[in-house]
Amino acid sequence: MLAIIIVLSLICLLVTSLFLLVIIDLRRINHDLDYINHHETNAGVTSNTSLPLIRGLTAGINWNLNKMRKLQIEQIEQEQKIHQMLMDLTHDIKTPLTVATGYVQLLDREPKADAKPSLTRIANNLRSVNYYLHYLMDFNLIQEKTRTLNRKPIDVSTLLKTELFDYYDQLTANGLQVKPEVADGLTLVTDETLLRRIIQNLIGNWLKYAKNQACLSLTHQDANHIVMTFANKTAEPVRHVERLADRFYTTDTARTTQSVGLGLSIVQSLTTTLSGKMAIDAHDHTFTVKLTFRESTK
């Protein structure tokens, strides 16, 4: 009987000691968290024991702290990129507007002069302004996460052909031969505004990067999906394909093609909003963007 009492006493002492150690470590963790929450520091929480429960707790807390700090750094970098983009766009919009205004004033002072060259330059500069304004509007679209979609049946075949016809003069001026293979009568229940901007951005991508030839196709993938494919030849091999849909990423660091690194990011974001999927491929001087949508999207 005495032996049983001694064993039970030892067990109670051991349990009490472990409980006290846990309490001490929890107080330490709470103290560390209080310090971290009130100071700018990269420190983590610590413990004095090797108990698996406490070790697992401290490891989980430190993992979350490190993840939160990484997200904060990414947010700061994103805000800096947004600020830089807005500064660049402000400059890029102001420059062609100033040039166009100068030619208008010149025509006003010399109304009898041959106006065609000046009007051509005005038109070119206003197209640049339109280009950047579209980027600002698209950027606003992908920033509005709570935007209500206006879904209705859309004849995608007709929409594609219409947009291609609207860009015909610009594509021709760029020396691009487009080969469309658009199946008739393909429809989606979707937001027409977002789908139209997806198409316009991808055609705009042709105007910046395509060389000589571009292909557009719209077909059934199966009974429930349609696939829209934009492909084009490129002068140079496309690098870092996996990063092309990252917001603000551009291979044109010198900004010789007016790129602000939003085009494919916008396409991917809008495609996802419409419950679609985007895939990018590049090989042998051919760049391809493939969009897949459910035909029964509601």
Residue 49 within a domain? no
DSSP string spanning 98-136? HHHHHHHHHHHH-TTS--HHHHHHHHHHHHHHHHHHHHH
Classify 267 as helix, strand or coil.
helix
Only one residue has tokens 């109304």, namely 111
pLDDT at 277: 92
Domain CATH code at residue 201: 3.30.565.10
Domain boundary among 97, 114, 143: 143
Say whether both 184 and 269 belong to one domain. yes
Same-domain pairing of 90 and 156: no
Q: Which amino acid is at 79?
A: E
Global confidence as pTM: 0.57
Say whether both 223 and 265 belong to one domain.
yes
Number of domains in the chain: 3
Residues 6 or more apart whose CB falls under 8 angstroms from that of 151 comprise 189, 190, 191, 297, 298
Distance CA(196)–CA(180), nearest Å, equals: 17
Residues β-bridged to residue 180: 216
pLDDT at position 290: 93
Range of the domain at 222: 151-294
Whether 171 and 115 map to the same domain: the answer is no
189: which 2 tokens? 């229940």
Domain match, 95 and 159 both: no
Dist CA 67 CA 64 (whole Å): 5
Asked whether residue 92 falls in the same domain as residue 202, the answer is no
Query: What count of other Cβ atoms lies within 10 Å of the Cβ of residue 228?
Result: 25
286 shares a domain with 157:
yes
Question: Is the residue at 51 inside a domain?
Answer: no
pLDDT, residue 102, reads: 72
Output the pLDDT for position 106: 66
Is 63 a member of any domain?
Answer: no
pLDDT string in tens for the chain (298-residue length): 777 777 777 778 777 777 777 788 888 888 888 888 888 888 888 887 777 888 888 888 889 989 988 888 887 876 776 666 666 666 666 666 776 777 677 666 666 666 667 677 777 777 667 666 766 766 666 666 446 778 899 999 999 999 988 888 888 888 888 888 999 989 999 988 889 888 988 888 888 888 888 999 999 888 889 999 999 888 776 665 555 655 444 555 444 444 444 567 778 888 888 889 988 888 878 888 999 998 754 4
Domain check: are 214 and 271 in the same one? yes
169 lies in the same domain as 138:
no
CATH number for the domain that contains residue 119: 1.10.287
Whether 288 maps to a domain, the answer reads: yes
Beta strands 286-294 and 277-283, pairing class: antiparallel
